[in-house]
C-alpha cells in the first residue's frame, strides 16, 4: 500500500484543470505528479506552483514515469480507449472521466481487458452518485421504508450549449448522466429508450432539437423519464422526483440565501455544474483516492461505463426513429457481479 497517490492527470482542459486544482488544494492523500496535454504549454501552465510535478505531451511517457502511481483521464472521450488499455497494462488505479469510451463496442473491450486483469482498477466519473442528495435518495429507495420504487422523473437543464453541440451530444454528454442515475437508483439495467421530439425553443443553435423528452424502462418495469433541456437560459438545474408506494421524494431543489427584494422572493439559480456539483466532485475524487490507496475502486465501474454506452447508442437510434429501442447488453462478467 502506497501512502500517497502520485497522479498523472491526462488532459489539462476545463475538466482536467478543475481536477488538478482539486488534487492540489483539497484532496487528502494524493498529489499531482504529472500533467499531460498535447498542448504542452497548457500542461506547463497547469503545473505552475505544484512542487514536484512535471508537464508532458505524451500519456505513455507519463505512465512510464517512475514517480507516477495512478492516472486520472480527462481528455475527450475518443482518446480514452488507448490510454485505458495502457494504464490497465500497468495495473495502476485509474479514474476515467465519463464516458468510459464513446460507444458500447469499445467500452466492451475495456471491460474485457479489466476482466482479464482480474481485479477492478477503473472508476468511471459519474460523479452524481457522490452528491449528498443523490446518495440520500438512493438510501431512501434501498431502505424500503416507503415501499417499492415505481417511477422516476428527471429534469436536466443547462443554460446554453457550447459551440458545436449536437443532438447526439445531448444524449452522449447530457442524458448519459440520467442513464447512470436511473441505474443507480433502481439497481437495475435500462431495457429500452424512447425519445419524444415536440415543440422546440428558438434559443437552440445549430439545428439542435431542444428540449427532448426521453422515456426509459428498467428490468422490473420502473418507468423513468428525463426532461432534457440544454438551452433553458435561466441557469443550471438537475432534479429528480421518485414515486414510491407510500410517498414521493424530490431532490435537487433550490437552496441558498432566501431573499426578498424588489417585489419578489427567492434566490439565485446555480449558473452551471461546477456550482451545483462541486462538492460531489470533491467527494468523488476523495473516495477514489481512499479506495485506490487500499487497492480498490470507490465508485462506478467499467461495467457502468459500458452499460451507459449501450443506453446512449439506443438513445441516439430512438432520437432518429421516434420508436422504443431496446438496449442490448452482453452478460455481465463475474468481476462486476
Residues 173-212 close enough to bind a second copy by CB under 8 A: 196, 198-203, 211
Do residues 305 and 122 touch, judged by C-beta distance below 8 A? yes
266: nearest Cα among 234, 298, 233: 234
Binding positions for a second copy, 71-130, rule CB under 8 A: none
How do 247-251 and 212-218 pair as beta strands?
A: unpaired
Distance CA 8, CA 75 (A): 12
Judged by CB under 8 A, does residue 264 bind a second copy? yes
Nearer to a second copy, 199 or 334 (CB): 199
Distance CA 255, CA 229 (A): 21
Nearer to a second copy, 202 or 334 (CB): 202
Could you tell me the CA-to-CA distances from 252 to 73, 128, 206, 269 in Å, in that order? 28, 11, 29, 11
| Binding residue for a second copy, selected from 48, 258, 331, 334, defined by CB under 8 A | 258
Judged by CB under 8 A, does residue 269 bind a second copy? yes
Cβ 332 to a second copy, closest distance in Å? Answer: 22
| Binding residue for a second copy, selected from 41, 85, 89, 279, defined by CB under 8 A | 279
| Binding residue for a second copy, selected from 27, 47, 71, 113, defined by CB under 8 A | 27
270: nearest Cα among 297, 299, 239, 237: 237
Judged by CB under 8 A, does residue 147 bind a second copy? yes
Judged by CB under 8 A, does residue 294 bind a second copy? no
CA gyration radius, the chain? 20
Q: Which residue has the cell 494524493?
A: 30
| Binding residue for a second copy, selected from 131, 237, 304, 313, defined by CB under 8 A | 237
Judged by CB under 8 A, does residue 41 bind a second copy? no
Judged by CB under 8 A, does residue 157 bind a second copy? yes
| Binding residue for a second copy, selected from 160, 266, 274, 321, defined by CB under 8 A | 266
> For the chain, how many residues are written?
337
Q: Estimate to the nearest angstrom the gap between the alpha carbon of 142 and the chain centroid.
A: 22
Cβ 191 to a second copy, closest distance in Å? Answer: 11
Binding positions for a second copy, 217-236, rule CB under 8 A: 217, 220-223, 225, 227, 229, 232-235
| Binding residue for a second copy, selected from 45, 115, 168, 243, defined by CB under 8 A | 243
Report the sign of the C-alpha dihedral through residues 233, 223, 328, 128, in that order. positive
Nearer to a second copy, 223 or 326 (CB): 223
Which grid cell is 222? 420502473
Cβ 260 to a second copy, closest distance in Å? Answer: 4
24: nearest Cα among 14, 32, 13, 33: 32
| Binding residue for a second copy, selected from 48, 66, 143, 246, defined by CB under 8 A | 246
Amino acid at each position: 500500500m502506497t501512502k500517497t497517490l502520485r497522479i498523472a492527470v491526462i488532459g489539462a482542459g476545463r475538466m482536467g484543470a478543475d481536477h488538478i486544482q482539486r488534487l492540489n488544494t483539497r484532496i487528502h492523500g494524493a498529489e499531482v505528479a504529472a500533467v499531460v496535454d498535447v498542448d504542452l504549454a497548457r500542461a506547463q501552465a497547469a503545473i505552475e506552483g505544484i512542487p514536484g510535478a512535471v508537464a508532458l505531451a505524451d500519456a505513455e511517457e507519463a505512465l512510464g514515469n517512475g514517480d507516477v502511481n495512478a492516472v486520472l483521464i480527462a481528455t475527450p472521450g475518443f482518446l480514452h480507449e488507448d490510454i485505458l488499455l495502457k494504464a490497465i497494462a500497468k495495473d495502476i488505479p485509474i479514474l476515467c472521466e465519463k464516458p468510459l469510451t464513446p460507444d458500447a463496442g469499445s467500452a466492451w473491450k475495456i471491460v474485457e481487458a479489466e476482466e482479464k486483469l482480474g481485479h477492478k482498477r477503473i472508476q468511471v466519473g459519474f460523479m452524481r452518485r457522490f452528491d449528498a442528495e443523490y446518495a440520500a435518495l438512493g438510501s431512501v429507495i434501498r431502505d424500503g421504508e416507503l415501499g417499492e420504487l415505481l417511477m422516476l422523473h428527471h429534469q436536466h437543464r443547462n443554460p446554453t450549449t457550447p459551440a458545436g453541440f449536437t443532438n447526439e451530444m445531448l444524449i452522449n454528454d447530457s442524458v448519459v448522466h440520467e442513464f447512470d442515475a436511473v441505474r443507480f437508483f433502481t439497481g437495475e439495467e435500462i431495457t429500452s429508450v424512447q425519445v419524444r421530439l415536440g415543440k422546440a425553443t428558438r434559443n437552440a443553435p445549430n439545428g439542435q432539437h431542444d428540449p427532448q423528452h426521453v422515456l426509459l424502462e428498467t428490468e422490473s418495469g420502473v418507468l423513468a423519464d428525463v426532461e432534457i433541456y440544454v438551452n433553458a437560459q435561466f441557469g443550471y438545474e438537475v432534479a429528480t422526483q421518485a414515486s414510491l408506494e407510500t410517498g414521493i421524494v424530490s431532490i435537487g431543489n433550490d437552496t441558498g440565501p432566501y431573499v426578498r427584494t424588489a417585489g419578489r422572493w427567492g434566490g439565485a439559480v446555480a449558473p452551471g455544474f461546477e456550482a451545483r456539483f462541486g462538492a460531489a466532485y470533491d467527494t468523488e475524487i476523495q473516495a477514489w483516492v481512499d479506495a485506490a490507496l487500499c487497492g480498490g475502486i470507490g465508485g462506478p465501474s467499467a461495467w457502468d461505463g459500458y452499460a451507459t454506452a449501450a443506453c446512449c447508442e439506443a438513445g441516439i437510434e430512438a432520437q432518429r426513429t421516434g420508436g422504443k429501442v431496446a438496449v442490448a447488453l452482453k452478460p455481465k462478467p463475474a468481476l462486476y457481479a
